[in-house]
Amino acid sequence: MDTISTILLNLKESCSEVRQSKTLRLEDWVPPPFDSLKFNVDGSARGTPGPAGIGGVLRDYTGRLLCTFSNHIGIQDANTAEILAIARACELCVSRPELKDRDIAIVSDSKVAVSWVNNDEIGSLKHLQVIYDIRNLMRRLGSVSVSYSARAANFVADSLAKKGSDSGEVLLTWSNI
């Protein structure tokens, strides 16, 4: 079993207690179009503020895992964690030359974070620098978008973010792209 499969198996087992809201409709992950990539990201804070983490998973149109990350980010609020997860995905994509001209969809389950990144207005001065950094990274990538998707469709990223909240470990795994 490869490293990413082992990580996902452990996450699935450790997150079996995930609660389902009555209003949350369980959705399956939807792959990106042919020859495109999707980077599902999430932030987690265990309090307002509280121990926080970020996580994400990059997949191709076949669902093959290309990258996973999970980081503890200290004591933060949920919005900061969500913005930092988007920023980390952008940084990772920029760090790989083979991703420069690929169509990449970064998907978050935070409507607030997505609107801050996509709009000219800034929702919070606290996040101003990170939002500018995200926009600059996106320009360097070429064809990249940031969009919203329901939490249920973002289960793996959610699990990785919660793992980051709960531990000081840094996880970053790449497969062949």
Whole-prediction pTM: 0.85
CATH assignment of the domain containing 116: 3.30.420.10
Domain assignment of residue 11, yes or no: no
The mean of the pLDDT values for the chain is 85
Give per-residue pLDDT as tens, 96-125: 999 988 999 999 999 999 999 998 666 678
Residue 96 lies in a domain: yes
22 domain residue, yes or no: no
**45-66: pLDDT as tens digits:** 998 899 999 999 999 999 999 9
Q: What is the pLDDT of residues 131-160, one digit of tens each?
A: 999 999 999 998 999 999 887 678 899 999
Three state DSSP letters for the chain: CCHHHHHHHHHHHHCCCCCCCCCCCCCCCCCCCCCEEEEEEEEEECCCCEEEEEEEEEEECCCCEEEEEEEEEEEECHHHHHHHHHHHHHHHHHCCHHHCCCEEEEEECCHHHHHHHHCCCCCCHHHHHHHHHHHHHHHHHCCEEEEECCHHHHHHHHHHHHHHHHCCCCEEEECCC
24 domain residue, yes or no:
no
* Residue 9 within a domain: no
Number of domains in the chain: 1
Q: d(Cα 50, Cα 36) in Å, to the nearest integer?
A: 35
% of residues, the chain, pLDDT over 90? 65
Residue 3 forms part of a structural domain = no
Position 109 scores a pLDDT of 93
Q: Is residue 47 part of a domain?
A: yes
Q: Which residue range forms the structural domain that includes residue 160?
A: 32-174
